[in-house]
């Protein structure tokens, strides 16, 4: 199975593209989302707890990140 990621530059054409692709029996549309603050918040929330079992403080993490 192949996966394609599309970026739609003209939001008015999104509906047309969705209708077209949904008519093809060999195309599976998994999720539609808009690049918005809500989706960014969702992505941030998914990372919650990522550091919970790590022995590192926020200040140590910042120091490491800014060394680049």
pTM of the entire predicted model: 0.42
Asked if residues 8 and 14 have their Cβ atoms less than 8 Å apart, the reply is yes
**Residue ranges of domains in the chain:** 11-65
pLDDT in tens, the chain (68 residues): 888 888 888 888 888 998 999 999 999 887 666 666 566 666 666 666 776 777 877 788 788 888 76
Asked if residues 39 and 33 have their Cβ atoms less than 8 Å apart, the reply is yes
Asked if residues 8 and 17 have their Cβ atoms less than 8 Å apart, the reply is yes
Asked if residues 61 and 67 have their Cβ atoms less than 8 Å apart, the reply is no
């Amino acid at each position: 199975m192949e996966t394609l990621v599309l970026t739609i530059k003209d939001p008015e054409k999104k509906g047309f593209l969705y209708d077209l692709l949904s008519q093809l029996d060999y195309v599976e549309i998994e999720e539609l989302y808009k690049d918005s603050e809500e989706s960014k918040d969702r992505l941030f929330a998914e990372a919650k707890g990522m550091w919970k079992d790590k022995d590192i403080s926020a200040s140590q993490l910042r120091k490491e990140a800014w060394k680049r």
